[in-house]
Chain A
Amino acid sequence: MNTEKNSYTVLFAIGMVAVVGSLLAFVAGSLKPNIEENERLEKQQNILYAMGINENGEDAGGVNFISTDKVSDEFSKFIKQQLVIQGDDVTEDDQAYLIDIKKEEALAKADDYERRLPLFIGEKDGSTFYIVPMRGKGLWDAIWGYIALNDEMVVQGAYFDHAGETPGLGANIKERFFMDDFIGEHVYDGTAFKGIEVAKGNADPLNKDKTDNEVDAIAGATITGNGVAAMIKKDLRMYLPYFNSLKK
C-alpha cells in the first residue's frame, strides 16, 4: 500500500475524522445522563457546603461534601426557599438551582432581557442563610462559587471552584484555608457596599479583623485572587436591591 499518495492521505483524513468524530459523539451521548446527574448533585452539594452543611472535620482538613446519596434529602431539608429574582419580580421556583448562570450572563447582554438571578434561602439551627451564586473570571478560565450571608450581610460560608486555574497556586481557591477565611467577613463597610478584597501583604494574615473587608491572598495567585474579589463585588451587587427590600 502506498501511503505517500495524496488520494490515500485525503481518504485517510476523512476516514479518521469520521471514526474519531462518531466515537467521541457516541461516548459523549451515552454518558450525558450520568454526567448531568453528577453535575446536578454537585450543585446541591456546593450550595449546602456554603451554608456550612458538609462533612468537614473540625481542624483545617480537606473539603468534604455531603455524600451524593444523601445530598438530595439534605437539600430539600435545609433549603427552605429557592427564589428567582428578575427585576422587581421575585418568584419561587424549586428548580432555581438549575439556572445556568453562564447562559443568563450571555442573555443579559441583550438590552431587552432582564436577567434571572437565583437565590437560595436555607435554614439551620434557627438562623437564616441567603446563598448567592456567582461567576467570574480567573487567570485562565471561569471561576464560580456560592456565598452564604445572614440577614446582617455577614458571610457565613463560601465555596469557590474553577475550570482551569494553576494547580498548586490559583487552584487553591477551592481549598479550606482560603474559603474558611471568608467566614465572618462583612461585605458592607458601615453602610456602603464594599465586597471582600483578596488582599496581598495585608497586616492581618490570621484574619482576625473581620470588618476590614479583606481576606489574605494566596501567594503566587494574584490574578485568580483578584478575580474572586471582582466576582464577589460584581455578582453580589446585583442582589442588593432585593436585600435592601428585605430590610424595609
Chain B
Amino acid sequence: MLTGSEPPPPPRLHEELFMSLERDQMVAGRHQALGRAHLSLRARAALWVLRGFVMVVGALVIYTFLARI
C-alpha cells in the first residue's frame, strides 16, 4: 500500500519494476477500450433466444421455490 512518508524509489529500480509488466497490463493500457466484435443477425437472435429461455426457466425455479416455503 502506498504511504506518503516513504521516499520515492531510485529511478533505476523504478525502471526495472516497470519492465516487469507488459504494456497492456498497466492500468493505462487496460483502460484503452477494445473495438466492438461483429455479430451476425443470426448470432444476435440466437443469443436473445437463449437469454429469454434462461429468464423463463429462472422465473419458474424462483416461483416454485417461493411457492414451496
Q: Determine if chain A interacts with chain B.
A: no
- Which residues of B are at the interface with A, using a C-beta cutoff of 8 A? none
